[in-house]
């Protein structure tokens, strides 16, 4: 036991040193490069939802091709098991649990990112990049009074460093169901203003709750306020008819806007943050994909997402800029099958395993909550292959700051480090540790994973997912037991102690 204890303390000490080294790397600005950066951020796509990670019931040829030309990470993580905090961490380089108000944002939230922060897009803007955000935002918009849907939507993406945006303000299951281009709702007719409420119906309009007979897709949980395009949403809205999106064209519209951004900026370095709506609910794939997967709308949405990736690859190829572009494909959190609509995804799963061999899913502290598909391609600058280095989305900011020669101040991106050697496959280890965030916090350090005790529910019956909460400490050997079946905390109290101390130290940092 004493020996083990010493080993663990040694590891914790080494961690401190690693942290110090990482901090030093922040200022190393030699040989700055400015490749384009394309980041496709899928929504709720599980580790096992892509065929390059072993899916056999659904095929993702474009994502597989991208992975084959770059590095496919088997131990790559989103920071959190839900959307808003993962996106917050990715864009700010700060773990979201450090900041209040970064949970799943309601559709009328004001911007949750402090406009004074040095974000990923701002840092790249300072490095001379054109910076575009296309797709799902879900980080709030507008000042503390909330969004003015008929006026200027500021602050928003443009105030945190994007030079252009075409976004869905929250999620497709939240009102208002409109796109925002830069600081205004796109295609809004001023004679038909948008009215939104998150407390009560705006007028006498039908709702999903009162008039389920009007729905083309019924709710299985919530999603019973406004009915837009025959689908019940969260929140009430009226007006803005000309600005409403068409659910079955969301992927095509977003892909078109992303492609336009690339074409318009092909001669300057650009950063495209392309956050797809697929495969979040409500899942309404375009006619081209309807019924094509055999797994219902969830599988069809995966095919549509794969098509999107193929279109972006094709655009880069046809402009001859793929070699000078770092292309990242990953997901904001793990998978969920029934997330509140009766869309037959459960019934038609057909043996498909969205979480792969990992336990849990979206919302969960078990690994499938944050261990997600994770691919990086930068032709000519990396060896192709598979890496099990521990990598996290929180490090994109620190990595690209170092790559482009930007100096980060001490207060910037406190959790984000230069991980280029891991992202390009030269370093096979990656991070010494990473924190995963769902109901509680968990820390992965080497082969160990410790989940701190928590009083949250063990199981969420509405989504059919094990949440990973336990009032007792949990310790898993995730190398030998990737499915987290056997809690070995009682057998290794010294490891539990060391990891709990390391987690605490990182929380206090």
CA distances to 40, 63, 126 from 460, rounded to whole Å, are 29, 31, 44
The answer to the question of residue 437 lying near ligand NG6 (CB under 6 A) is: no
Closest approach of ligand NG6 to the CB of residue 139, in Å: 11
| Phi then psi dihedrals of residue 16, to 5 deg | -55, -45
Closest approach of Ca ion to the CB of residue 170, in Å: 11
DSSP, residue by residue, 376-427: EE-TTSS--EEE--BEEGGGHHHHHHHHTTPPPPTTSSTT----HHHHTTS-
Which of 5, 9, 23, 104 contacts ligand NG6 by CB under 6 A?
104
Per CB under 6 A, the segment of 112-120, 147-155, 220-228, 492-500 that binds ligand NG6 is: 220-228
Q: Where are the beta strands (DSSP E) in 266-399?
A: 270-275, 325-331, 374-377, 385-387, 391-392
The answer to the question of residue 265 lying near ligand NG6 (CB under 6 A) is: no
Helix residue ranges, H only, 94-207: 120-126
The answer to the question of residue 221 lying near ligand NG6 (CB under 6 A) is: yes
Which of 51, 82, 325, 365 contacts ligand NG6 by CB under 6 A?
82
d(Cα 261, Cα 127) in Å, to the nearest integer?
18
The answer to the question of residue 464 lying near ligand NG6 (CB under 6 A) is: no
- The tokens describing 199, both together, are 């407390």
Which of 11, 44, 169, 418 contacts Ca ion by CB under 5 A?
44
Nearer to ligand NG6, 325 or 333 (CB): 333
Closest approach of ligand NG6 to the CB of residue 349, in Å: 18
Taken in order 404, 417, 91, 381, the sign of the CA dihedral is positive
Per CB under 6 A, the segment of 25-33, 94-102, 215-223, 320-328 that binds ligand NG6 is: 215-223
Phi-psi region of 93 (alpha: psi -120 to 50; beta: other; left: phi over 0): left
Mode of pairing for the β-strands spanning 164-168 and 180-181: antiparallel
The answer to the question of residue 87 lying near ligand NG6 (CB under 6 A) is: no
Write out the binding residues for ligand NG6, residues 308-327 only, by CB under 6 A: none
d(Cα 31, Cα 33) in Å, to the nearest integer?
6
Q: Which does 281 bind (CB under 5 to 8 A by kind): ligand NG6, Ca ion, none?
A: ligand NG6
d(Cα 363, Cα 454) in Å, to the nearest integer?
14
DSSP, residue by residue, 293-305: SSSHHHHHHHHHH
Residue 222 contacts residue 460 (beta carbons within 8 Å): no
Write out the binding residues for ligand NG6, residues 280-309 only, by CB under 6 A: 280-281
Write out the binding residues for ligand NG6, residues 44-73 only, by CB under 6 A: 44
Nearer to ligand NG6, 340 or 454 (CB): 340
Which of 49, 338, 339, 418 contacts ligand NG6 by CB under 6 A?
339
Q: Which does 339 bind (CB under 5 to 8 A by kind): Ca ion, ligand NG6, none?
A: ligand NG6
Taken in order 388, 393, 395, 400, the sign of the CA dihedral is positive
User: Which are the contacts of 166, defined by CB distance < 8 A and separation ≥ 6?
Assistant: 133, 134, 135, 179, 180, 181, 186, 254, 257
Nearer to Ca ion, 184 or 437 (CB): 437
Write out the binding residues for Ca ion, residues 63-92 only, by CB under 5 A: 83
Which of 61, 106, 201, 222 contacts ligand NG6 by CB under 6 A?
222
Which of 139, 165, 234, 305 contacts ligand NG6 by CB under 6 A?
234
Nearer to ligand NG6, 88 or 307 (CB): 88
The answer to the question of residue 333 lying near Ca ion (CB under 5 A) is: yes
The answer to the question of residue 393 lying near Ca ion (CB under 5 A) is: no
Write the DSSP symbol of residue 166: E
Binding residues for Ca ion, how many (CB under 5 A)? 5
Nearer to ligand NG6, 172 or 506 (CB): 172
Distance of CA 179 to the CA centre of its chain: 19
Write out the binding residues for ligand NG6, residues 151-180 only, by CB under 6 A: 171, 173
Give residues in contact with ligand NG6 (CB under 6 A): 43-44, 82-83, 104, 138, 171, 173, 221-223, 234, 280-281, 333, 339-340
Give residues in contact with Ca ion (CB under 5 A): 43-44, 83, 332-333
């Amino acid at each position: 036991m004493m020996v083990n204890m010493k080993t663990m303390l040694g590891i914790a000490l080494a961690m401190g040193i690693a942290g110090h080294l990482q901090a030093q790397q922040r200022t190393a600005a030699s040989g700055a490069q400015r490749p384009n950066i394309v980041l496709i951020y899928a929504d709720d796509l599980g580790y096992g939802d892509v065929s390059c990670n072993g899916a056999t019931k659904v095929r993702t040829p474009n994502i597989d091709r991208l992975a084959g030309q770059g590095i496919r990470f088997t131990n790559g993580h989103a920071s959190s098991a839900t959307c808003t905090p993962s996106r917050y961490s990715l864009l700010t380089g700060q773990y979201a649990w450090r900041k209040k108000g970064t949970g799943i944002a309601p559709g009328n939230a004001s911007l949750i990112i402090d406009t004074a922060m040095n974000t990923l897009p701002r840092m790249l803007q300072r490095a001379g990049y054109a910076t575009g955000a296309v797709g799902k935002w879900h980080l709030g918009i507008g000042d503390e009074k909330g969004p003015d849907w008929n006026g200027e939507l500021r602050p928003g993406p443009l105030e945190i460093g994007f030079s252009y945006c075409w976004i869905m303000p929250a999620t497709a299951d939240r009102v208002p169901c409109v796109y925002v281009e830069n600081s205004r709702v796109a295609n809004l007719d001023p004679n038909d203003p948008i009215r939104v409420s998150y407390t009560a119906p705006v007028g006498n309009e039908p709702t999903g709750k009162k008039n389920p007979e009007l729905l083309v897709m019924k709710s299985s949980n919530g999603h019973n306020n406004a009915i837009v395009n025959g689908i019940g949403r969260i929140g009430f809205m009226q007006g803005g008819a000309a600005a409403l999106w068409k659910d079955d064209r969301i992927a095509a519209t977003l892909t078109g806007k992303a492609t336009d951004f690339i074409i318009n900026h092909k001669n300057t370095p650009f950063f495209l943050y392309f956050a797809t709506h697929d495969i979040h609910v409500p899942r309404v794939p375009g006619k081209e994909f309807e019924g094509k997967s055999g797994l219902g709308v969830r599988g069809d949405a995966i095919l549509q997402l794969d098509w999107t990736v193929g279109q972006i690859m094709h655009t880069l190829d046809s402009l001859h800029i793929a070699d000078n572009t770092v292309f990242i494909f990953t997901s904001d959190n793990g998978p969920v099958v029934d997330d509140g609509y009766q869309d037959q995804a459960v019934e038609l799963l057909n043996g498909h395993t969205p979480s792969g061999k990992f336990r849990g899913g979206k919302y969960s502290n078990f690994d499938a909550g944050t261990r997600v598909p994770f691919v990086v391609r930068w032709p000519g600058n990396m060896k192709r292959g598979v890496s099990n280095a521990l990598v996290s989305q929180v490090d994109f900011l620190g990595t690209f700051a170092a790559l482009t020669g930007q100096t980060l101040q001490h207060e910037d991106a406190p959790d984000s480090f230069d991980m280029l050697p891991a992202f390009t496959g030269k370093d096979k280890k990656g991070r010494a540790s990473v924190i995963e965030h769902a109901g509680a916090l968990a820390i992965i350090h080497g082969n160990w994973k410790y989940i701190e005790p928590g009083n949250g529910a063990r199981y969420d019956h509405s989504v059919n997912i094990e949440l990973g909460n336990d009032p007792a400490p949990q310790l898993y050997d995730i190398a030998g037991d990737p499915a987290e079946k056997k809690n070995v905390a009682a057998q290794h109290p010294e490891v539990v102690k060391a990891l709990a101390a390391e987690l605490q130290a990182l929380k206090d940092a």
